[in-house]
Amino acid sequence: MATGIGLSLVAATGSAAPSGTSRSSAHDFDWEIGSWRTEVRVRTNPLSGEAPQWVDYSGTSVVKPLLDGRANFVELSVAGTSGKIEGGSLRLYGSKSGQWSLNYANLRNGLLTSPVYGGFGASGRGLFYGPDTLDGRAILVRFAITKVSPNQARFVQAYSADGGVTWEDNWVAIDTRR
């Protein structure tokens, strides 16, 4: 776990997600089970202060339920002119906390990213937060999941270098059910 600004969010709220945003249950992701066509935009120069540079990828996401819906696994495989991104996200529901943890493994380097924690609000939008590092500096990560329709979802990851005052998108994925 990164230190510094990430801990300020945890200390202020008692969790890695702002209070009052969650009404999660063990079946929050049931709507997403299945196979999806995925279009991804990745910012190649996050938090650089420079004009955004984006690369595009296309491929698939397959979401599989685990442990009676209290967990699921997302297999991601997308490719573009900049190469291929392959990985998996294990999502786990904590019945005591009422929150989900999202844990991404990148197959390129074989490492897990720092998890993000949170849940779904009354609007049905999922918000997940956690501390991480980028180029050796402490940052916050926010991951938002929006069910646009039964057949489309939007995923946006953003970074903050100022304790969550401002956010910069660095990953945008649009999934369409296959």
Instruction: Look at strands 168-177 and 34-43 and give their pairing.
Output: antiparallel
Q: Is the pLDDT of residue 39 over 70?
A: yes
Structure tokens at 156: 């946006």
Read off the pLDDT of residues 57-81 as tens digits, 9 standing for 90 and up: 999 999 999 998 899 999 999 999 9
Structure tokens at 85: 């991104």
Contact 42, 54 (CB under 8 A): yes
| Mean per-residue pLDDT over the chain, rounded | 89
Rounded to two decimals, the pTM is 0.87
Strand partners, 73: 64, 90
Q: Is the pLDDT of residue 140 over 60?
A: yes
Q: Is the pLDDT of residue 15 over 50?
A: no
Tell me how far apart the alpha carbons of residues 60 and 78 are, in angstroms, rounded to a whole number.
Answer: 6
Tell me how far apart the alpha carbons of residues 29 and 19 are, in angstroms, rounded to a whole number.
Answer: 21
Identify the residue whose tokens are 């991601």. 76
Q: What is the pLDDT of residue 24?
A: 76
Strand partners, 130: 141
Average pLDDT score over residue span 26-37: 96
Contact 127, 121 (CB under 8 A): yes
Residues 6+ apart with CB under 8 A from 173: 38, 39, 40, 41, 61, 154, 155, 156
Domains annotated for the chain, with CATH where assigned, are 5-48+55-177 (2.40.128.20)
Going from the C-alpha of 60 to that of each of 11, 30, 56, 163, the distances in angstroms are 37, 18, 13, 33
Q: What is the pLDDT of residue 131?
A: 97
Going from the C-alpha of 164 to that of each of 72, 138, 158, the distances in angstroms are 28, 12, 10
Q: What is the pLDDT of residue 122?
A: 85
Closest to 14 (Cα-Cα) out of 133, 104, 93, 98:
98
Q: Is the pLDDT of residue 8 over 50?
A: no
Average pLDDT score over residue span 7-32: 61
Would you place residue 3 in the very low, low, confident or very high pLDDT band (cuts 50, 70, 90)?
very low
Q: Is the pLDDT of residue 19 over 50?
A: no
Higher confidence at residue 107 or residue 122? 107
Contact 51, 147 (CB under 8 A): no
